[in-house]
Amino acid sequence: MPGDAGRSRSAVGWSGWIALGVALLLTGVGVSSIFAGEAADWSEAALTQRQIAFAATGLVAAICIARIGHTRIGEWSYVLYGLILLLLVLLVVARRVPLDPIFPVRRNTARWIQLGPLQAQPSEYAKIVVVLALARYLRFRSNYRTVGGLIAPFLLTLVPTALILKEPDLGTALLFPPVLLIMLYAAGARRRHLACVLGAAAVAAPLFYFSPLMDDYQRQRIEVLVRQNDSDRRWQMGPGFQLRQSKIAIGSGRWTGQDQEDTAFFRHNLLPEDQNDFIFAVIGHQGGFIGASLIVFAYVVLFAAGLTAASGTDEPYARLVGVGLSGILVMQALVNMGMTVGLMPITGVTLPFVSSGGSSLVANYLSIGLLISVARRQPIRIARKPFEYSVTDAATT
């Protein structure tokens, strides 16, 4: 019925704004947690003020992207992809050849571009650009329903993944392959082909551990996961210290969390990286099981809003952009929360919208802007729905 269609389209249109509302709520929680771990006085909370400034920048960027629209931005997806690849190559080169001050190397890591007071991390924006490029490639094709047709989308994904691994940035690199599989599944790739890929990845994972793509400290982080309950005191106070402290912080929060005056746990640096990678431990300590559960629920709502925006359109490119961006946000959240409780290796992945960090926060808001655009623009198409194949198609693939 027309009325039902109108209500459905209205619900889809609102899904992007719901995603923005959840993002703002998570940002507020992040700012509060950063302030709790930084200082007791606002005048000394430089990191908190910086996070608010980046949040404002990200919000403005999201609104601008929503107004420009995913379709117009998509026309430049391959150009953006090439630019990101160039920057990632330069970052890898910077580890061997000094390219200061634009490409600084810190602790043998080259992840940032420095232009005066401005600093950016290309790998954060690469997540969005790879999704846009994949969506552009997959939008009207059906050849990826063959084994040979999977080569191009895998190359589009694995090339930047390998470059990011060499920065090195294991956490960000590990987000790309799952999102590729999610997008291929949404586009209609054959399940048995994807199952074979997953099987091959499971077999190759132990070999990857010994490959030159992984640095020694990255192998040690995997060892921390395996040995997290090791009773060796030297191990607990050495490589296993960060994860051990994170689990203590979360466990001490119990059901409802600790009082504000107990935040000395963080102010005395008893949990390194508490404002970045391990901010979920701060939330668990302050908000307890209930507070941490509400954060998990917020990401469920964010993911549902993104999928609603994607499923409400029959335009192939928009659907894949919505699925890909929703997938990368929820994967990042799962990896971050998983590593703070000892379910995944410590990889340095930030908690979306919550962790301290300018590039990550702005990039996440750009994703929200694209989701708003997908939700608002629901074209009427005179054609079969995207990624649906007839018997003839099946016979030829």
CA 46 to the chain's CA centroid: 25
- pLDDT, residue 44, reads 65
- pLDDT, residue 391, reads 41
| Whole-prediction pTM | 0.87
Q: Which residues of 295-313 are buried (b: 16+ CB within 10 A; e: fewer)?
A: beebbeebbbbbbbbbebb
pLDDT tens-digit profile, the chain (397 residues): 344 344 445 556 788 899 999 999 999 999 988 887 675 566 667 888 899 999 999 999 999 999 999 999 999 999 999 999 999 999 999 988 888 888 888 878 888 898 877 888 999 999 999 999 999 998 877 666 677 778 888 899 999 998 998 888 888 888 998 898 899 888 887 888 788 778 777 777 777 777 776 777 777 778 888 778 877 788 778 888 888 888 888 888 888 877 655 555 666 667 776 678 888 988 888 888 999 999 999 999 999 999 999 888 888 899 999 999 999 999 999 999 999 988 888 887 899 999 988 889 999 999 999 999 998 876 554 445 555 544 444 444 4
Task: Name the residue ranges covered by the structural domains of the chain.
Answer: 15-378
- pLDDT, residue 167, reads 86
**Would you mind telling me the total number of residues written for the chain in this entry?**
397
Rounded Cα–Cα distance for residues 328 and 178 (Å): 8
351: left (phi over 0), alpha (psi -120 to 50) or beta: beta
**Other C-beta atoms within 10 Å of 107: how many?**
5
- pLDDT, residue 245, reads 85
As beta bridge partners, residue 115 has 118
Rounded Cα–Cα distance for residues 181 and 154 (Å): 9
Q: Which residues 6+ apart lie within 8 Å of 317 measured at CB?
A: 70, 71, 74, 135, 136, 139
Rounded Cα–Cα distance for residues 23 and 364 (Å): 9
Rounded Cα–Cα distance for residues 55 and 190 (Å): 40
Give the pair of three-digit tokens for residue 262: 């107990």
Rounded Cα–Cα distance for residues 311 and 70 (Å): 15
- pLDDT, residue 300, reads 95
Q: How far is the CA of 294 from the CAs of 18, 23, 33, 256, in angstroms?
A: 16, 13, 15, 12
With contact defined as beta carbons under 8 Å apart, do 355 and 336 qualify? yes
Q: Which of 103, 226, 237, 123 is nearest to 173 (CA)?
A: 123
- pLDDT, residue 213, reads 66
- pLDDT, residue 124, reads 93
List phi, psi (to 5°) of 88.
Answer: -65, -40
With contact defined as beta carbons under 8 Å apart, do 139 and 317 qualify? yes
